[in-house]
Structure 1
Amino acid sequence: MRLYVDNLHTLTEVRVRYIKTFTDVMRSISWRYSSQEYASALADFAFEQPNLQKLLLEMQYTTQDTYTFFIRMATESSKFIERYLSGYAEKFYSECHRAADRYGTTMDKAVIDLAVGSLYTNVKGNFKEGFIKCSAALRILQRGGKSLQLATAYQRIGYNLLHQDENEEAINNFKKSLAISSVSGKQFNLIAIQSLNS
């Protein structure tokens, strides 16, 4: 019995190290893919793809110790997951939502809803469901004041509405996103550019 308990403890430690290591890999690749280091990010992704796919599936075994790593991925790497790991994304976000009920906050749920809304809009082409998810996220994020997530929510809602030919309302959302992004730090630049581009 003692050997079995030791093996379980060791397995848990290995799982935590794996999740921590590959969360850092995911964040690095996803940051670089939207920068001048795009080519090296894609080369690293080609090499690490099986590990990153497995990482998303690990969400179903999350504990309070590993939950924050997954929420960080959902927050900082959602566009990368959407673009390069979309076959695993819906299950990953569903498990994130369930874990947020146990370990997280309403802000965590908002970040997840924002990622799911973007997935529905950009990958599945389900604009109505994408709008519902992004709007649910927006209502929560507005309570927290100006933030990168709030600027992102306005930008994603605007992009969704643009696809539904709701141009005036889309522009209003892009303006709200820009109003936050243009007076904020460097980390807001990508969202500002996306809003201006749209």
Structure 2
Amino acid sequence: MPTEIIKKGKGVKLSAEDNQILSKVKVGLGWEVRKGGQLDLDASVFMLGEDGKLPSDEYFVFYNNLTSPDGMVKHKGDNRTGDAEGDDEEILINLPYISPVVKELRFIVSIYDAKARRHNFGQLEEAYIRVVNLSNSQEILHYDLDADFSDDTEVEFARLVREATGWKFLPTERGTKIGLQGYVDKFIPEL
């Protein structure tokens, strides 16, 4: 299966065959900071139910909650500098066994403490998100985050939506300045 560069507005449907092949995937986030700078990016996954909300707080997987309640989404830990070779942060996903209450995964990249530190995506040289098939280590999707978000502090970069025949990746490329807490507030069920 060749690498496919996904672009805004173009979904990539994982067919039934692909879903069998792609039972386990890795989402990798990498970034470089402009010379002399330091910036902490964080990858997060909101596992949403039919109503577009978290079934419970534990379905928000990020640096302070590394594993979903079903154990099928695992964050491998926080990288605070982006200095690592290859992917700086990784999230492992076991697609076939994700709880049936989860209908969608939303992937967010945020800048830690951006408002207080006056950080934004304009301070990045390059950033990317990619999806790797763990059965053969082949990169199957690669999405370049670019300088279009120079004033933003978060980017919702993709959705993974459950369909009757499997999953579909949808790039969203939506920059915001609401902070990670803004997304938490958006996806927490109203009391």
TM-score range (shorter-chain normalised) is under 0.3
What's the TM-score once normalised by structure 1's chain length?
0.24
* More RCO (CA 8 Å, sep 6+): 2
What's the TM-score once normalised by structure 2's chain length?
0.25
Which structure: greater strand fraction?
2
Which structure: greater helix fraction?
1
Look at both structures and tell me which one has the larger radius of gyration over its CA atoms. Answer: 1
